[in-house]
Chain A
């Protein structure tokens, strides 16, 4: 079993839809949770960064962490074609030396 599981998709939604992206994990030591967006043939770009459980909102993006269920989510409101990309979750334990464990990424396509 992988430490971090993420549905690879592809996920196709119409413009304006609310998108829900999720990851589950098995390591209860993970404390830091991140979401990255990666466009084709580019490096990942940090979108959201949360510590421990709870919600964090930034514009159209909301990140949720439920440590009791070992489940994290990224919601995108009013999705746009420019949101089409691969979204990677990543996480790290406290004292992990900044080392991240990544999910495989979910490919999202927002259609006109």
Chain B
């Protein structure tokens, strides 16, 4: 199956700093990438959808100035959590999809963010 990687897998940062998370599709071109966050024992909450070369579409309640998403190429999307606070601590997961007619999404392994 398609492989999606995320880096870093775990990150600890101080309150007020920014953290960048990378999501890469390793063996296919991802026209669409999605960013989710997941709290313990809860389902995935979609934060935003990004298409290569376009601005990301954010879900209601997600601050676009706080969660900056860049999808500069067909294999790379980044999520930057700006001015992180302890309540931003969560598991962030990206997924990638090959084309709009294919509803299969392939997920990365996730990034555990802890803000102290």
Interface, chain A (partner B; CB < 8 A): 8, 32, 34, 36, 41-46, 49, 88, 92, 96-100, 102-105, 107
Contact = CB atoms under 8 A, between A and B. Distances in A.
Interface string B1-29: 10010100000000000000000000000
Chain B contact patch, size range: 20 to 34
A99 B34 CA distance: 8
B46 A99 contact: yes
Contact of A43 (B6, B97, B104): B6
B104 A42 contact: no
Contacts of A96: 103
22 contacts: A8-B41, A41-B91, A41-B110, A43-B93, A44-B44, A46-B105, A46-B106, A49-B104, A92-B103, A97-B32, A97-B49, A97-B100, A98-B100, A98-B102, A98-B103, A100-B34, A100-B46, A100-B105, A103-B43, A104-B42, A104-B43, A105-B43
A88 B103 contact: no
A42 B105 contact: no
B64 interface: no
Interface string B61-103: 0000000000000000000000000000001010101001011
Contacts of B106: 46
Contact of B108 (A43, A92, A102): A43
B104 A46 contact: yes
A105 B32 CA distance: 24
B100 A44 contact: no
Contacts of A103: 43
Given A46-B1, A103-B43, A107-B41, 13 more contacts: A8-B41, A32-B103, A34-B104, A43-B6, A43-B95, A44-B44, A44-B107, A46-B107, A98-B32, A98-B100, A100-B34, A100-B103, A102-B43
Contacts of B49: 97-99
B40 to A, nearest CB: 10
Contacts of A104: 42-43
B100 A43 contact: no
Nearest to B94: A43
